[in-house]
Amino acid sequence: MQLRAAAAPAQSISAEAAAALVQSGMWLDYGGGVCQPNAFDAALAPRVPELHDIKIRNCISMRPVQALEADPAGERVYFLNLHFGGWDRKMHDAGHGHYIPVNLGEIPDYYRRFMAPVDIAIIKTCPPDADGFFNLSAGNLWHRGVIERAKTVIVEVCSGLPYCPGVETGIHASEVDYIIDGGSTPPAELPNPAPGEVDRAVASQIAAEIEDGACLQIGIGGMPNAVCGLLATSGVKDLGVHTEMLTDGIMQLYQGGHITGARKHTDPGKIVYTFALGSGALYRAMHNNPDLLSCPVDYTNAPHIIMQNPRAVAINSTTQVDLLGQAASETDGTRHISGTGGQAQFVRGTYAAPGGKSFICLPSTYDKRGARRSRIVPQLTPGNVVTTTRADMMYVVTEYGCVNLKGKSVPERARALIGLAHPDFREELERAAYDMRLIPRGFTFG
């Protein structure tokens, strides 16, 4: 691990004194997730009217960024985001935030090779351990790359964060310029809504495809978590985990004895992840847990690492699939709603694993302005961004079935995907497929 050398021993200062270091034109990095600073941000907000051209980079804001809210006209603070959460989406809708297109697992390399050096990195951490490392808690991610490129490093120490063992999980005291008190507030929680009937129907089809010894990646959302719930009662055993996000569903499988990691080729016996978001129960179970291994995102999400685990399985959700098999998982037309995340990398990595499988799941319909619409469509909504290409797509799952698109021709794909649509939409999808010449008339498959 490359350590950054601070100019002088770290100083303990107030949040207000730390915010006073900010000058117009600076790039600030807030880390993201549970590492998002709060005390510093609250102290910076009153200074915003006297500053201009401040760039703040963040990811999945778990609390409102007060410095941005202090600039309602959007003329002083420029907000850039590596993956949207709910609050980030609202800021984008209001014209006050913008997305940085990324494969999440490549972000450390972006910092090291392409992004301009960070003027000030402000990252929330656990208190220092006996070796002088400020643990990054449940947000390892790309923070090592941020620290290496930062001109000034500020840690906001919070005793309410879980301490998470792993690889490159900390910032050494010798790298830190300033320390501020972040209090003892527990990390913000991400709600876990109970799965609905459609979630359970989709999950049951995926769970049927998961074998003993499979190595799981579980994405964000109700459907992937519903799979965990079904696996907990399925009798499947010796599961492994090599994932991007650690979820409540994974933790429940672990606590139920279904996850041993005994058959993994990389990090056997360990649940490998790069960040976690979920309930307070999840964070408490993570604290100092030796069975969990926090790793940088360029390790967890690298396809050449993922593929080393036999029967690797990726379970991710999407919002729209067209009849060619393209998945749009991050936008609704020109409205940005989330991000590429690690979906594309896990789709490729799990497919390349011996016996590997990738599942992209979605409900067949959704309601918009009181009208039911199909998520299986002839063509993607104009402006929609392709997250998983048609060449990469493997299994697609709705409540009406599960199909493997690998090796299927365009006509075969169209037929298979129409079969996954809600029955009320199949006739018009088939008519569109003929009109678009995706399915030749008179041609049968079998």
Across 85-100, average pLDDT? 94
Give me the percent of the chain exceeding a pLDDT of 90: 90
Examine the pLDDT at 443 and tell me if it is beyond 70.
no
pLDDT tens column, 138-187: 999 999 999 999 999 999 999 999 999 999 999 999 999 999 999 999 99
In the beta sheet, which residues pair with residue 264? Answer: none
d(CA 136, CA 166): 10
Grade residue 8 by pLDDT with cuts at 50, 70 and 90.
confident
Look up residue 445 and give its two tokens: 């498959």
The pLDDT assigned to 1 comes to 73
Q: How many CB atoms lie within 10 A of CB 225?
A: 25
Across 90-95, average pLDDT? 94
Q: Kindly list the distances between the CA atom of residue 3 and the CA atoms of 25, 39, 149, 173, 297, in Å, as whole numbers in the listed order.
A: 27, 26, 11, 10, 18
Q: Which residues contact 416 (CB under 8 A, 6 or more apart)?
A: 396, 403, 405, 408
The pLDDT assigned to 221 comes to 79
> Residue 294 CA to chain centroid, in angstroms?
15
DSSP codes of every residue in 302-328: -HHHHTTSTTEEEEEE-SEEETT--EE
Strands (E), 215-270: 215-218, 240-242, 245-246
Q: How many CB atoms lie within 10 A of CB 404?
A: 15
Q: If residue 93 lies in a helix (H) or strand (E), which one and from where to where?
A: helix 86-93
Q: How many CB atoms lie within 10 A of CB 424?
A: 11
pLDDT tens column, 55-69: 999 999 999 999 999
The pLDDT assigned to 446 comes to 55
Examine the pLDDT at 345 and tell me if it is beyond 60.
yes
d(CA 180, CA 39): 8
Examine the pLDDT at 364 and tell me if it is beyond 60.
yes
Catalytic residue chosen out of the listed positions 148, 244, 399, 430: 244
Q: What number of residues does the chain have?
A: 446
The pLDDT assigned to 444 comes to 64
Look up residue 229 and give its two tokens: 């719930």
Q: Match 């969990």 to its residue by tokens.
A: 292
Residue 382 three-state SS? coil
Q: Match 């960040």 to its residue by tokens.
A: 275
Q: Which residues contact 73 (CB under 8 A, 6 or more apart)?
A: none
Active site residue 427: no
Look up residue 48 and give its two tokens: 């915003």
Q: Tell me what the pLDDT averaged over the chain comes to.
A: 95
Examine the pLDDT at 317 and tell me if it is beyond 80.
yes
Amino acid at 165: P
Q: Match 């507030």 to its residue by tokens.
A: 185
d(CA 273, CA 279): 16
- In order of their start, the domains of the chain are 11-181 (3.40.1080.10), 197-435 (3.40.1080.20)
Q: Which residues contact 429 (CB under 8 A, 6 or more apart)?
A: 323, 374, 376, 377, 378, 417, 418, 421
Grade residue 252 by pLDDT with cuts at 50, 70 and 90.
very high
pLDDT tens column, 372-394: 999 999 999 999 999 999 999 99
The pLDDT assigned to 225 comes to 82
